Amino acid sequence: MNNPNIILKMIFMKKMKGVLLEASAIDKGDISWEELSEHVDLTIYENTTERNKFEHIGDAEVIFDNKVIIDEEVFRKCPNIKYVGVCATGYNVVDMTAARKRNITVTNVPAYSTDSVVQLTWALILEQTCNLELHNQSVKNGDWINSEIFCYWLKPISELSGKTLGIIGYGNIGKKVATIAKSFGMNIIVNTDHPEKYSEENINFVDKDEIFAKSDIITLHCPLTEDTKDIIRKENIDKMKNGVRIVNVSRGGLVRENDLADALNSGKVLSAGVDVVVTEPMSEDNPLLDAENIIITPHIGWASIDARKRLVDEIIKNYKAFINNEKRNVVN
């Protein structure tokens, strides 16, 4: 045992102490953490709040985090931290400056949920234009049984063909949304910060005002920045067509919720579908709850079983790369 090479190997093989802060955000009993536990001495918490995060993190060296804020105070009170694995694509929950100052590695998981988010985008668009649930409930309530004619409809049903879809944001999700829109025969206009990157693609890139003015449906697939915060607000809604439809599966802060609620209630915006809101979980005084003609889902765009399994696989690969002194999805 005096061989220094053996001693170093044993030290290297020793698992680091880690915490998974919000397992229930990813796992509803259909996800296994067993493989991750093979590489880290892992304590799993179903949920962590701002009140108990210091207690949960404690002397951990490794944090797997989703929405809990990991800032200067956390790094100061929990000085053993060497690695933060963000269990999502967005990593704004981590203070990058503080992490960099302490040489703490931060990773994220990009693009794992693209197909799932695109699917929900179209589910929200199709529900708005086909009114499936309204008619399903009507049939189950006996309305078709009691109908004097062979068919009926309770709200207008709209075709997508020939309509203009305005896409704000042209990353992986925006691109796939555009591909599907083409198959519906829609006219597509796109706003993105760097249209020159896609010069070879047959896409009509326009400024935001043209998106607002020409779109029958506007769908948001951009990050939340100073430029995009409250992009759906009264002054921009006023530029839109009467009867426009809006979809937001990106970030709640892209929408000024009072303004959207007012536009829905007035009929200026015919309908909307949102998977995200400014404050999550949703607050009981959110004005969208009582707004007309809106579908609200609880941030499930990323949450298919397929996407969640990919997410966990990527979390494991990121961490294995870290302990092997390799860089993978390092964001700082």
Catalytic residue numbers read 251, 280, 299
Residue 183, Cβ density class (10 Å: 0-12 exposed, 13-18 middle, ≥19 buried)? exposed
Bridge-partner residues for 43, per DSSP?
19
| Residue 249 near residue 301, CB atoms below 8 Å | yes
d(CA 114, CA 111): 5
Report residue 238: phi and psi, to 5°: -60, -25
- Express the helix, strand and coil content of the chain in percent, nearest 5 each: 35, 15, 45
Name residue 310's amino acid. Answer: R
Handedness of CA 155, 161, 163, 165 (dihedral sign): positive
Question: Among candidates 152, 195, 146, which has minimal Cα distance to 175?
Answer: 195
Residue type at position 24: S
Residue 39 CB-density burial (10 A; 0-12 exposed, 13-18 middle, 19+ buried)? middle
DSSP 83: E
Tell me if residue 226 falls in helix, strand or coil: coil
Rounded to whole angstroms, what are the CA distances from 163 to 154, 187, 273?
A: 22, 6, 18
Contacts of 65 (CB under 8 A, 6+ apart): 21, 22, 84, 85, 86, 87, 93, 94
C-alpha distance across the termini of the chain, in Å: 39
Distance CA 159, CA 182 (A): 13
